[in-house]
Amino acid sequence: MNPFFKEYDTAYQSIPFSKIKTEHYMPAFLEGIKQAEKELEDLVNSTENPTFKNTIEISEYSSKILSRTSKAFYNLLGAHTSEDLQKIAQEISPKLTKLSSDRVLNKVLFQKIKTVFENKANENLNPEQEMLLKETYNYFVRNGANLNDADKEILRGIDTELSTLSLTFGENVLKEINKYELHISQEEDLAGLPNGIKEAAALTAKNRNKTGWVFTLDGPSLIGFLKYADNRELRKKLHKASATKASKGDDLDNQDIVKKIVTLKSKRAKLLGFESHAAFVLAEQMATKVETVNNFLEDLLVKAKPFALKELNELQEFAKSIGGPEVLESYDVAYYSEKLKNKLFNFNDQQLKPYFKLENVLNGAFIVAEKLYGLSFKEINTVDKYHKDVMTYEVTDENGELVSLFYADFFPRESKQNGAWMNSLKAQYIKDGVNSRPHIINVCNFTKPTETQPSLLTFNEVTTLFHEFGHGLHGMLSNTQYKSLSGTNVYRDFVELPSQVLENWCFEKEALDLFAFHYETGDVIPNELVEKIKASSTFREASGMMRQLNFGMLDMAYHTTNPEAVTDIRSFERESTKETQLMPVNDYACFSTAFSHIFAGGYSAGYYSYKWAEVLDADAFEYFKENGIFNREIGEKFKECILSKGGTKHPMELYKDFRGTEPDNTALLKRAGLLVEIA
């Protein structure tokens, strides 16, 4: 029996990964499509007068087999993929796109939805039902329901091609990462590297049946080498491998794919009556229009650039003072920044890592959630896992009621995409009086344990864990009636608020005392180190902001510019981001071909949202600090006003329900140390 063909009879209705075989996916997808087509046919042929209940709500609860299959499949595609899964993805993608198009472009179905929408005053809808109706109607309109038949066919073709192009883009990036290694056989080439990094590289080599040390393009390996290796030529070599991912002119090259994606998205937007893809996307975001985003990014650029130039000059002078190059290159920045940080604050990541054992940091995130929201996390072994590295937890409230299942998958492997993300394996919703609780997963790529040390995190990895756990809490604490409005189904420029705000606790002594224990002695992190963490929190902050503005402006350029102007990817990158470039640009560098956020993820014309949400998170955390970072009343307010509400109200309404007023960027600039000289 195919596990997807019936409701799971497992503990918590969790995905029975051990019973699912690769050959189950395609039949399940095809059966799910068949079921969805029958449900669409029944809805279209119904002779009942269309109402919210028999049209909108029926659609909301449809496609059960397809939903189960997709949740399991697409999690594995990112977290534990294989060539077989990638082949299935390429084969099923156009079929799923066709199903979606058949539904959204069906004239009869849209007319029924339109009738319900226009007659909503005649139905006694609650606010969440009104939002679901509005979102459903807007979704159909924004995806071509009002187009003529000829344009609908053009749209179908565009959507089908885009679905396969984005898959190929992501596959190429992963293959590029997996095929590269920097194999070092001479120990002198490891000069400057801490023992933990060397030991991890030796373990990687051993696992690949090689002697010596192997460094890869996985985050912990790449960043560690660029930050500490004295050998400048090897830093350049590894940096070049990273900076040229999928842009080498071979069969994994994404340059033409980027051009095609940009062209198709522009064509699609214009077909739907928008000036650009960015205009199309932003019409359904907090920012609402391109001008708002461009002004937002430009405002931060004007404020951050003088500080960033000053930081670069200080770094350059410092590098020269210790025998470094006359002109810093991109592969020098992390190396000399770490040395300057050590000089200024007399500490570095290697001093911090012993206090950030992965298990302790994760437990710290759990304790923060307990103090703010009354949650308890209990590790369990009664649900299936798709890989031995995955940990599973039962999440309950103060009454012992189930809140969520939580999965944690933290270590790099060749079958996993780079980066860090949160997914929903089962959405939250309420049906027939039963609150079906969510299953949430955090997937990251942290420093792995070695033969002599546990997984010890850098401080950046600590904040990343808290960031993704913040997304996780947004999913876990969801309490909405409809799954399409639950959890993180919110505007893209609002979704980063719960994740980014939680990072703030990592800088507070009161929070660090709960989990930052030395992995050997058990000693709590000393006050001196906490003060250095806080003092150095704005170290090269303007430079970091410029990097984010670079990405945001590049994203907006791709999705507002006439795609015919995008003839050479490297040239377009440099021209579009020249105001954010503070250093010489390497001729070989090509970031776009691995910019998965916008070309293989959901952030196209939305990368600005990280900075946008920082304004919200800085303002929100000020509220916590004013009342105590573990103030339960404020925690409950954040849970009730934001975390539990999903997309049931406009994000600014949710934020004002919590804070009482709209935010401005004062708190962000203050936190970043960029306020004093601007005032």
d(CA 31, CA 381): 31
Q: Are 335 and 226 in contact (CB under 8 A)?
A: yes
DSSP letter for each residue of 450-490: -SSS--B--HHHHHHHHHHHHHHHHHHT---S-GGGSTT-S
Q: What contacts 178, CB < 8 A, 6 or more positions away?
A: 414
d(CA 216, CA 14): 34
Buried b (16+ CB within 10 A) or exposed e, 297-306: beebbebbbe
3-state secondary structure 333-399: HHHHHHHHHHHHHCCCHHHHHHHCEHHHHHHHHHHHHHHHHCCEEEECCCCCCCCCCCEEEEEECCC
Among 375, 381, 379, smallest CA distance to 394 is for 379
C-alpha dihedral (137, 143, 144, 150), degrees to nearest 10: -160
Query: CA 146, 150, 154: angle at the middle one, nearest 5?
Result: 90
d(CA 422, CA 496): 11
d(CA 141, CA 134): 11
> What element of type H or E holds 435?
strand 434-436
Using DSSP, state whether 421 is helix, strand or coil: strand
> What element of type H or E holds 190?
none
**Other Cβ atoms closer than 10 A to 87:** 12
- Told to judge if 468 belongs to the known catalytic residues of this protein, a careful annotator would answer yes
From the number of C-beta atoms within 10 Å of its C-beta (0-12, 13-18, 19+), residue 370 rates as: middle
Among 631, 605, 28, smallest CA distance to 261 is for 605
d(CA 495, CA 487): 9
d(CA 391, CA 410): 9
Q: Which of 171, 176, 181, 468 is catalytic?
A: 468
Which positions are annotated as active-site residues? 468
